[in-house]
Amino acid sequence: MLGPDKVKEITSQALALSKADQTEVIFSGTDSALTRFANSYIHQNVAETNTEVRVRLVYGKKIGVASCNDLSPEALKRAVDTARAIAQRQPENPEFKSLPGPQPIQKVEAFVERTAKFTPEQRAQIVNVLCKKAKEKGVVAAGAFTTLGYELAVANSLGVFAYHPGTVADINTVMTSDTGTGYASFTHPDAGQVDAAALADEAIGKALTARNPGALEPGDYTVLLEEYAAMDILDFLAYLSFSALAVQEERSFMQGKIGEKVMGDAVTLWDDGLAPDTLALPFDYEGVPRQKVTFVENGIARGVVYDTLTAQREGKTSTGHSLPAPNSAGPYAEHMFMAPGSTPKSEMIKSVERGVWVSRFWYTRVVHPTKVLITGMTRDGTFLIENGEVTRPVKNFRFTTSYLDALNNVRAISRETKLFRDDWSGAARRVPALLVDGFRFTGVTQ
Partner 1 sequence: MKDLTGRALNIAQVRGAAYADVRIVERVTQHITVKNGQVEALEQDESLGFGVRVIVNGAWGFASSSRLEGQEIERVVSQAIAIAKASALTKIKDVNIGAPVVSKGVYETPIKVNPFTISLDEKIGLLMKADAEMRRVKGVKVARGELAFVRENKEFASTEGSAIRQEIVESGCGIAAMATDPQTGEVQVRSYPNANGRHQQARGYEFVLEQKLAESAGRIGEEAVALLSAEQCPSVDATTVILDGSQVALQVHESCGHPIELDRVLGTEAAFAGTSFLTPDKLGNFRYGSEAVNITADATIPGGLGTFGFDDEGVPAQKTDIVKNGLFVGYMTSRETAQELKLGASNGTMRADGWNRIPIIRMTNVNLLPGTWDVKEMIASTDDGIWMETNRSWSIDDRRLNFQFGTEMAWEIKGGKKTRMLKNATYTGITPQFWGSCDAVGNDAAWVVWGTPNCGKGQPPQTAHTGHGAAPARFRNVRVGVIK
Scanning residues 361 to 400, which ones bind partner 1 (CB under 8 A)?
A: 362-371, 373, 375-377, 379, 396, 398, 400
For the chain, the 3-state helix, strand and coil shares in percent, each to the nearest 5, are: 25, 40, 35
* Least distance to partner 1, CB of residue 56, Å: 9
**Quick one: which segment of 14-22, 120-128, 152-160, 297-305 binds partner 1 (CB under 8 A)?**
120-128
Nearer of residues 338 and 436 to partner 1, judged by Cβ: 436
Question: Cβ 4 to partner 1, closest distance in Å?
Answer: 20
CA distances in angstroms from 320 to 6, 268, 286, 307, 393, listed in the order given: 25, 20, 8, 6, 45
13 within 8 A of 5, measured Cβ to Cβ = no
> Least distance to partner 1 from the beta carbon of 261, Å?
16
Per-residue binding letters, 157-176, with partner 1 (x by CB under 8 A): ---------------xxx-x
Stretch that binds partner 1, among 63-71, 109-117, 151-159, 273-281 (CB under 8 A): 63-71
Does residue 212 bind partner 1 (CB under 8 A)? no
Out of 5, 94, 215, 315, point to the residue binding partner 1 (CB under 8 A).
94
Q: Are 242 and 319 in contact (CB under 8 A)?
A: no
Pairing of strands 161-176, 140-156: antiparallel
H helix intervals, 282-333:
308-313
Question: Taking a C-beta distance cutoff of 8 angstroms, is the pair 14, 57 a contact?
Answer: no
Among 20, 65, 244, 385, binds partner 1 (CB under 8 A): 65
Note whether 78 binds partner 1 by CB under 8 A. yes
Q: Which is nearer to partner 1, 5 or 424 (CB)?
A: 424
Q: How far is the CB of 241 from partner 1 (least distance, A)?
A: 12
Site string for partner 1, 327-346 (x = CB under 8 A): xx------------------
Q: Binders of partner 1: how many residues, by CB under 8 A?
A: 97
Near partner 1 by CB under 8 A: residue from 5, 74, 121, 217: 121
- The size of the chain, in residues, is 446
Q: How far is it, in rounded angstroms, from Cα 16 to Cα 33?
A: 34
- 154 lines the binding site for partner 1 (CB under 8 A): no
Q: Is 250 one of the binding residues for partner 1 (CB under 8 A)?
A: yes
Only one of the segments 2-10, 222-230, 251-259, 273-281 lies at the binding site for partner 1 (rule: CB under 8 A); that segment is 251-259
Q: Specify the stretch interacting with partner 1 by CB under 8 A; choose among 83-91, 108-116, 294-302, 312-320.
A: 83-91
Phi, psi of 442 (to 5 degrees): -110, 0
Closest CA to 187 of 26, 428, 389: 428
Question: Least CB distance from residue 7 to partner 1, whole Å?
Answer: 15
What DSSP character marks residue 290?
P
CA-CA distance, 35 to 170, in Å (whole number)? 11
**Which residues, including other chains, have CB under 8 Å from residue 272's CB and lie 6 or more apart?**
278, 290, 292, 293, 335, 337
What single letter denotes the amino acid at residue 42? I
Give least dist CB 230 to partner 1, A: 18
> Which residues ranging from 17 to 56 are in contact with partner 1 (CB under 8 A)?
32-52
Query: Is 220 an interacting residue with respect to partner 1 (CB under 8 A)?
Result: no
Q: Cα dihedral angle (260, 263, 266, 272), rounded to 10 degrees?
A: -80
Distance between alpha carbon 19 and the CA centroid of its chain, in Å? 37
Residues 177-196 that bind partner 1 (CB under 8 A): 181
